[in-house]
Amino acid sequence: MKSGRPSFHINRRVLISGAALLPALSAIPLTGVAQAQTTTGSSLSSWNDGPAKQAITDFVRATTEQGSPKFVAPEERIATFDQDGTLWVEHPIYSQVVYCLNRVPAVVEKEPKLRNVEPFKTVLSGNREAIAKLSLRDLEKILVATLTGMSVDEFNKEAKTWLTTAKDPRWKRPYTELIYQPMLEVMEYLRANGFKTYIVTGGGQDFVREYSQRVYGVPPEQVVGTAGGTKFGYGNDGKPFLTKEPKLLLNDDKAGKPEGIHLMIGRRPCAAFGNSDGDRQMLEYTGAGEGARLMMLVMHDDAKREYAYGPAQGLPPSKVGTFTQALYDEAKKKSWTVISMKNDWKKIFSFE
């Protein structure tokens, strides 16, 4: 764990991704999820036939069919999913970063002396170019100011409100509708076959928990994310409550992902899904277990329907979700499955 540190000192990937967790007044009816749980058949209807879809159905058959030499006991069926870029859109900026930037005016209203202090001044200016140039240190300050210092209940309320109102500028929809329909189908298919599906995200744990049930059918207790400490105390009315502290307990990115999985789940997953170098260790850790395994990486190679970035396979590099050629090569060497959004997915969003 990168934890045990007294304050938020995290790399850009995590900081931004730490911001990347964002939910949804989603359009996915929970009844659909429930129905999927009563069947074990594949409903991967948004997937084109091909090696990626085949890898998923082969894995489920091998682990769940009675008599299969690779049968996995139901309680051992754990599947973990990265969120940003794996379950929903992360480009060009993690949604939780947008949330943090949007929260700055409210923070300044509560603490007016911040109005003329950087980086808050720049954020308030609305100058997009200047905001994009903020340093890591500045982003850390914004993260701490907008994600800590309030009660857990206050934070949940604020996040919920934002999620119902904020919209992605390209699709003009709540961020929580920008979920990859094929990945939802994989989650539902796995759950229908007895798997517990977990989100394991560099994004903020409390943030993602606010919408995980509604959007993904994943209950809050199955969200592992970058997590800060809380402090138990009493209000003036004697009522106990928890305050979110600026203390990093779990930096749930890169090596922090297997560490977080051990802390929060205590079992090694049989299947893991990611899309970037931040997910490499989670896939390696998953792959090192015995028995049937499924490791998959979503490759963003569809500039028309979503975005195209890599730099694997010559795709243009991105500040978010970096999928290096080295990771691509490791995937090929270890027989992980690379999902081409362009070729493997019939549709990307449910609203298409």
Residues within the interface to a copy of itself (CB under 8 A)? 1, 3-6, 75, 152, 196, 205-206, 209, 213, 219-221, 223, 227, 229-232, 239-242, 245, 247-250, 255-256, 258-259, 262-267, 281, 284-285, 288
- Closer to a copy of itself by Cβ: residue 288 or 303: 288
- The answer to whether 59 and 292 are in contact (CB under 8 A) is yes
- Closer to a copy of itself by Cβ: residue 284 or 302: 284
CB of 41 to a copy of itself, least distance (A): 25
CB of 305 to a copy of itself, least distance (A): 33
Nearest to 329 by CA among 344, 305, 312: 312
Phi, psi of 189 (to 5 degrees): -65, -45
Coil, strand, or helix at residue 336? coil
CB of 199 to a copy of itself, least distance (A): 12
CB of 132 to a copy of itself, least distance (A): 32
Phi, psi of 91 (to 5 degrees): -95, 140
CB of 230 to a copy of itself, least distance (A): 5
- Closer to a copy of itself by Cβ: residue 2 or 53: 2
Cα 312 from Cα 99, distance rounded (Å)? 29
- Closer to a copy of itself by Cβ: residue 41 or 219: 219
Cα 190 from Cα 28, distance rounded (Å)? 17
Coil, strand, or helix at residue 257? helix
- Closer to a copy of itself by Cβ: residue 5 or 170: 5
**Burial grade of 320 (CB within 10 A; 0-12, 13-18, 19 or more):** buried
The radius of gyration of the chain from alpha carbons, rounded to an integer in Å, stands at 20
